[in-house]
Amino acid sequence: MSNAIMLMGTSSHVGKSIITTALCRIFHQQGRKVVPFKAQNMALNSYVTRDGREMGRAQVAQAEAAGLEPMVDMNPVLLKPTGNSCSQVVLMGKPIGNMSAREYHKGYSLKAFDAVKESLGRLQAEYDTIVIEGAGSPAEVNLKANDIVNMRVAKYLQAPVLLIADIDRGGALAALVGTLELLDEDERALVKGLIINKFRGDVSLLTPAIDFLEQKTGKPVLGVVPHVEALGIDDEDSVSLEEKQAVPLDAPIKIAVIRTPKLSNFTDFDSLAAEPDVSLYYVSDKEELGEPDMIILPGSKNTTEDLIHLRETGMEREISRRAAKGTPLWGICGGYQMLGKAIHDPEHTESEHDSIEGLGYLDMETTFAAQKRTTQVTADCVQFPFLGQLLAAQDMPGYEIHMGKTAFGPAVHHPFHIHARAAQEADSWDGAVLREQNGQQGEVVGTYIHGIFDHDGFRRQVINALRSRKGLSPLAIQRNVRAEKEKAYNHLAAVVRESLDMEKLAEIMGEKL
């Protein structure tokens, strides 16, 4: 059987994903064939693999840290919340339908565990080490009977478990002790070590707490991992998004992302936020919008309901006011669909509305269908006029992940040419542009391509066009996204390696590291 180690937490967002990523990079640096795994993910942040399947972004970062291309065996079950305690269930990268929380947990999750076991079997046959991430807490007694992501996986593999607590939020000792107390005896026996995460300050002050934990639980504390600011690694879920709200607006270029209730794939904008001359912030209501240099409507898991939300909260009027004054407005995926004249949903794939009026900027209409398009693409930006500049870039990688087909009016200009789709040659156009709004020289742009701003050259051209409008000189490319990710993985690995007792970890895993 392949060697495995499993990371569980006392709650959500204690750092399981990050420490899993760190171990993947540490083992990769040691020359191992290491692979990440999470049986079930619940997130609106997703990714499309080379073969057109959908998976959670946390396992994508972990795959990158392990030197691997992402594949759905790393995350066989993905739940994408749609609202009203309901989620779209994605099994082995393909949606199989929407289910309520009760329908899934009471009737389907244990069936999905068959796919989990099949994925684990393939990974065991191919890799030396599997680093497994749990979800939430293994001590949720109301969910344990049908849980397929925590102790059921650990018991199936007889994998040793490391239990992580977040000391930054407080109550870490009680969380560790309480979690262990709530586990069954055979589950508790699988927990081989404890980790305290996100510590700030002098670690020597924790010595009495560590001694107490080891005496109280009989479990060794493998280490105390410090709080690491600005990791530069993709976040998994909306809990991480909460930390992105308070962004200092001291950079000259200000970009507002409209935060709708079903916002998805917010990592599309992390590369923009990382630019030194950009302050990117998320806006939940119209009073927070301010006077940005650019507004972005992001992707959405429920485009229709999010559009209604914009209308009901008055955000639509505020966006329109700024667009009429010439503030550039970009829409990505669901946000792009909102920019059109109408959205039709005859099969009620998203909501109970047959049709809804769009924001009306772009001469296009979108009709939803049950089938979802999930594919990687490579596109060129072909002489796209934006704020008096001509943007051009080649070989821009990204991916499409949307339901619905968009039809265009005759005068629509398409800024992006897709020349590869799913690693096959392609020839199609993407996106739409409006360069005048109510007699004013505005800019409204939409695209289905996620990750469009991750291309270093294109991103810098967009920012420089915004700089030029404000009378600022253009800057050369400031960041290399891929190189900085590699640097971030290496930095994270170094911090965790220094913080943990690696010899004890080797002993727990039954080997020498």
User: In the β-sheet with 77-83, what is the strand arrangement from edge to edge?
Assistant: 40-42, 77-83, 86-91, 94-100
> Does the structural domain 253-471 have CATH classification 3.40.50.880?
yes
How far is 302 from 222, CA to CA, in rounded Å?
Answer: 43
The whole-model pTM stands at 0.87
How far is 236 from 245, CA to CA, in rounded Å?
Answer: 16
| Per-residue DSSP letter, 490 | H
**Domain ranges within the chain, ordered by starting residue:** 3-40+55-70+116-232+486-508, 253-471
The contacts of residue 71 (CB under 8 Å, 6+ apart) are 49, 51, 53, 55, 63
Looking at residue 249, its pLDDT comes to 72
- Tell me the C-alpha to C-alpha distance, in Å, between residue 505 and each of 220, 284, 404: 10, 43, 48
Identical fold, 3-40+55-70+116-232+486-508 and 253-471: yes
Looking at residue 1, its pLDDT comes to 42
Looking at residue 123, its pLDDT comes to 97
Query: What is the per-residue DSSP string for 255-277?
Result: EEEE--TTEE-GGGGHHHHTSTT
The contacts of residue 249 (CB under 8 Å, 6+ apart) are 279, 281, 290
Judged by DSSP in three states, 400 sits in strand
Looking at residue 157, its pLDDT comes to 96
Per-residue tokens: 508: 């727990």
Looking at residue 442, its pLDDT comes to 59
How far is 22 from 487, CA to CA, in rounded Å?
Answer: 12
pLDDT in tens, the chain (513 residues): 458 999 999 999 999 999 999 999 999 999 999 999 999 999 888 899 999 999 999 999 999 999 999 999 999 999 998 877 789 999 999 999 889 989 998 889 999 999 999 999 999 999 999 999 999 999 999 889 999 999 999 999 999 999 999 999 899 999 999 999 999 999 999 999 999 999 998 888 899 999 999 999 999 999 999 998 767 676 555 445 555 554 557 899 999 999 999 898 888 999 999 999 999 999 998 999 999 999 999 999 889 999 999 999 999 999 999 998 899 999 999 999 999 999 999 888 777 888 999 999 999 999 998 778 889 999 999 889 999 899 999 999 999 988 889 999 988 899 999 999 988 999 999 999 987 655 545 599 999 999 999 999 999 999 999 999 999 999 999 989 889 999 999 999 999 999 999 999 999 998 744
Q: What are all long-range contacts of 463-467, with beta carbons under 8 Å and residues at least 24 apart?
A: 463/253, 463/272, 463/275, 463/277, 463/278, 464/389, 465/386, 465/387, 465/388, 465/389, 465/391, 466/253, 466/293, 466/294, 466/328, 466/387, 467/252, 467/253, 467/277
| Per-residue DSSP letter, 351 | -
Catalytic residues: 333, 450
Beta-strand ranges (E) seen in 92-140 are 94-100, 129-133
**What is the chain's alpha carbon radius of gyration, rounded to the nearest angstrom?**
24
Fold topology of 3-40+55-70+116-232+486-508: Rossmann fold (3.40.50)
